[in-house]
């Protein structure tokens, strides 16, 4: 299965989502994370060799792809519409992370407008959700009213997500009790992806 994580905006949790979903799918079958972003954030995250899955650059990926059951692609900050088209055609599912901020939600609606005519299989993931804020509470309603397909699971705003890259680990292995909540939510997202894919193939 090929899953691409994309958004028209940076800072919405693409790399964080790619890394944690790769960790989830690695628990099921060999998983490769392709870092297609020029910033190479996922490759830097993996430098200490503490991640459970393999990370390759786009240039390094072709020879490896056949060795893995699942491929997760972390894409660059601002893809051109053509790149979005290529991603939609080349993957089984697109994941569009967005924070509850108005601007990010607005940009997500624009991304979906581009994807709709492509018949792409996509789903929006709310990230950095702080349930104490009105913004966060309103975001899900906004997405539902805009009739965008969204994951039931939402990713909470947690310090562990900010700190785990410098330790080279996922929040699953981050030494803080609340970090586990973040890992459970990404597990939930992984399970929803499995459900979607099994519905498609049946
Ligand atoms: N759920 C979260 N809670 C707190 N911080 C987060 C969360 N997800 C991502 N971040 C932080 O937000 C910043 C942008 O996330 P990143 O995954 O790099 O986004 P992108 O790849 O879309 O640019 C990073 O500093 C990251 O640690
Ligand atoms: Mg990134």
| pLDDT given at position 82 | 86
| pLDDT given at position 167 | 97
| pLDDT given at position 78 | 80
Distances (CA, A) of 106 to 35, 50, 96: 26, 36, 12
pLDDT, tens digit, for every residue of 38-48? Answer: 999 999 999 99
The rounded Å distance from CA 35 to ligand 2 centre is 9
State whether CATH 3.30.210.10 applies to domain 2-201: no
Instruction: Please list the ranges in the chain whose pLDDT falls under 50.
Output: none
| pLDDT given at position 33 | 98
> Which residue out of 99, 162, 181 has the highest number of ligand 1 atoms within 8 Å of its CB and is therefore the one to mutate?
162
Task: Give the binding-site residues of ligand 1, using a 6 Å CB cut-off.
Answer: 7, 10-16, 41, 127-128, 155, 157-158, 161-162
| pLDDT given at position 8 | 93
The rounded Å distance from CA 41 to ligand 1 centre is 11
Contacts of 35 (CB under 8 A, 6+ apart): 18, 41, 42, 43, 55, 56, 57, 58, 74
Which residue in 157, 110, 111 sits closest to 135, CA to CA?
157
| pLDDT given at position 64 | 94
Please give the structure tokens belonging to residue 5.
């994580």
């Amino acid at each position: 299965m090929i899953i691409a994580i994309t958004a028209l905006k940076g800072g919405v949790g693409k790399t964080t989502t790619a890394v944690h979903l790769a960790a989830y799918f690695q628990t099921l079958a060999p998983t490769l994370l392709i870092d297609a972003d020029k910033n190479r954030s996922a490759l830097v995250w993996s430098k200490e060799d503490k991640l459970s899955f393999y990370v390759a650059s786009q240039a390094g990926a072709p020879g490896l792809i056949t060795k893995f059951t699942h491929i997760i692609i972390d894409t660059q900050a601002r893809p051109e519409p053509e790149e979005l088209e290529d991603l939609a055609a080349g993957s089984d599912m697109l994941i569009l992370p967005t924070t509850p901020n108005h601007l990010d939600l607005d940009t997500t609606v624009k991304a979906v407008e581009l994807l709709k005519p492509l018949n792409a299989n996509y789903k929006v993931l709310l990230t950095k959700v702080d349930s104490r804020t009105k913004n966060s509470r309103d975001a899900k309603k906004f997405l539902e009213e805009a009739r965008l397909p969204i994951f039931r699971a939402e990713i909470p705003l947690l310090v562990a997500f900010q700190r785990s890259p410098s330790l080279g680990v996922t929040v699953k292995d981050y030494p803080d009790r609340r970090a586990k909540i973040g890992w459970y939510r990404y597990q939930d997202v992984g399970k929803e992806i499995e459900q979607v894919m099994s519905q498609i193939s049946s």
